[in-house]
Structure 1
């Protein structure tokens, strides 16, 4: 097998996660495979994905600083974490943040869950 020869990688994710990734890939005009490859490489190598870095450098810097703070907080709680455990903790934190934000948005009647549409929708678009 040469370095450039392609091979298959499979992963199993919850149905809702696949849908989120699929929607995001569609927004970026990418295939699901291309999206997953790009996101994995972006996470591993910290390179810019042009279509994802359209926000200002100031916002990017703030996001990086926020992430660095979160990493330090997690490592303060757990002295040693391998890569997978660190990612798992950070993702769990993000999921908690998303859940809290969705709760606030639902309380403010800005979004609601639609079983018919299979996900959250903005109520001001109805």
Structure 2
């Protein structure tokens, strides 16, 4: 992100099942956050594991919601010294293992499948007639 990045706020709209919205609101309340702040923080946290090599946007709040990357880095560095690769590994929470678990769960629920014919994972029902 460049130094001249546009920091104005824009609306993002999404639709989720009612039970999920209620769960998110409850979790946001537990963290003393607005629902918007909660969703924004969770999206950014989720993106962090998928954007290696990209610069993380600076956060106006160094610890939004109480579990920010800045806080994790500071805690790690309080008691030890890490090189870049060690620090990256320490904060990435083993993304490969998490992805493997997610793929297994989605396959168990029959929402996705691996298709050798199509060269990768696909949602169930996609490309079945090909």
Q: TM > 0.5 between the two?
A: no
Q: Which has the higher contact order (CA 8 A, sep 6+)?
A: 2
Structure-1-length-normalised TM-score: 0.43
**Structure ID, larger Rg:** 2
Greater percentage in helix: 1
